[in-house]
């Protein structure tokens, strides 16, 4: 018990030092007053981040299939938004976090529902399991534990740490897509706009965390910035390779078409007399085969023909 208490006190001490560091950064001059977040432009960027998957879901709608797209980023993002709302309600002066994450919950719920509608049975079952595990089971357990076992500022701090961990998971969720990009050498299932706006949002949320002196907001976005840059670099590399592969395929098809056209030009042109001779030869071969069938064919041939009766 003593070791646990000392560990908890040490962690509180280290977090206090980190808050002091963030505070010293935010107090250096008034340069942070000019941040886009204070001009309400951060709202726009955050909304764009949530809306950036729209082209992906439009593609799913047109093809009536989720194909290689995965639901993990959207389920994790939904859970993260719910957690941040709970954290902001426990803390003070966090209206901005409540507003943006409420919108996030709404839009991510639509994405997940849309995915479930067009996903195959196996992917649909996996998505429902994740929803039950995270959104219902996970969030319910966090609320119960923090409400009954912790009080006051400690409760907010515990929830903040949980938010920090799951924010890291939110940024790490697209890594499964990164793995698929490297394996298939195709960026079809990793939209560039989503990676770009996630990186931009991570930068703004990091500085916002500095402004409000909240390490739980600032720290995850460092990793978000790194992952965002990684995704954009991979997009540039493999998008170029994919274009080169498509060009090579088109060039090969064109070459094959040219070869076939040349072969067709070299085919001899048949005259009308040659065509008639070929038809006669075919008729002769057919009659020989018919006569070679034996007596059964002769019987059929000698059968009396039906006469049509005219009324």
Q: Decide: pTM greater than 0.85.
A: no
Q: Is the pLDDT of residue 116 over 90?
A: yes
pLDDT band at 82 (very low <50, low <70, confident <90, very high): very high
Burial track 231-252 (b if 16+ CB lie within 10 A, e otherwise): bbebbeebbeebeeeeeeeeee
Structural domain spans, the chain: 40-149, 163-259
Q: Is the pLDDT of residue 112 over 90?
A: yes
| pLDDT, averaged across the chain | 73
Between residues 231 and 267, which one has the greater pLDDT?
231
pLDDT digits (tens, 9 = 90+) for 171-188: 776 677 777 788 887 777
Long-range CB pairs of 207-211, under 8 A, 24+ apart, other chains included = 207/32, 207/35, 207/37, 208/35, 208/37, 208/42, 208/96, 209/22, 210/22, 210/25, 210/26, 210/32, 211/26, 211/32, 211/35, 211/37, 211/38
The fraction of the chain above a pLDDT of 70, given in percent, is 62
CATH for the 163-259 domain, from 3.40.50.300, 2.60.40.10, 1.20.1280.290, 3.40.50.2300: 1.20.1280.290
Q: What is the pLDDT of residue 152?
A: 82
pLDDT digits (tens, 9 = 90+) for 128-179: 999 999 888 999 999 999 999 988 888 888 998 888 887 777 777 667 777 7
Between residues 55 and 107, which one has the greater pLDDT?
107
């Amino acid at each position: 018990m003593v070791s646990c208490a000392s560990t908890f006190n040490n962690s509180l001490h280290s977090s206090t030092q980190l808050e002091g560091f963030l505070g010293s950064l935010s107090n250096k001059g008034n340069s942070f007053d000019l941040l886009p977040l204070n001009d309400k432009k951060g709202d726009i960027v955050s909304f764009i981040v949530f809306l950036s998957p729209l082209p992906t879901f439009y593609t799913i709608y047109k093809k009536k299939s989720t194909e290689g797209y995965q639901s993990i980023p959207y389920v994790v993002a939904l859970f993260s938004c719910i957690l941040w709302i709970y954290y902001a309600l426990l803390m003070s002066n966090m209206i901005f976090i409540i507003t943006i994450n409420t919108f996030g919950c709404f839009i991510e719920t639509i994405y997940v529902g849309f995915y479930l509608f067009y996903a195959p049975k196996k992917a649909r079952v996996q998505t429902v399991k994740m929803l039950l595990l995270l959104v219902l089971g996970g969030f319910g357990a966090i609320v119960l534990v923090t409400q009954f076992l912790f009080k006051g500022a400690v409760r907010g701090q515990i929830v903040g740490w949980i938010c920090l961990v799951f924010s890291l998971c939110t940024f790490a969720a697209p890594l499964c897509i990164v793995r698929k990009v490297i394996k298939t050498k195709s960026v079809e299932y990793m939209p560039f706009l989503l990676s770009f706006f996630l990186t931009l949002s991570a930068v703004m949320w990091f500085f916002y965390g500095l402004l409000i002196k909240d390490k739980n907001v600032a720290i995850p976005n460092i990793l978000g910035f790194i992952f965002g840059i990684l995704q954009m670099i991979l997009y540039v590399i493999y998008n170029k390779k994919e274009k080169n592969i498509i060009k090579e395929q088109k060039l090969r098809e064109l070459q094959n078409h040219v070869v076939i056209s040349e072969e067709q030009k070299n085919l001899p042109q048949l005259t009308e007399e040659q065509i008639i001779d070929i038809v006669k030869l075919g008729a002769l071969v057919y009659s020989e085969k018919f006569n070679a069938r034996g007596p059964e064919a002769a019987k059929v041939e000698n059968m009396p023909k039906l006469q049509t009766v005219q009324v």
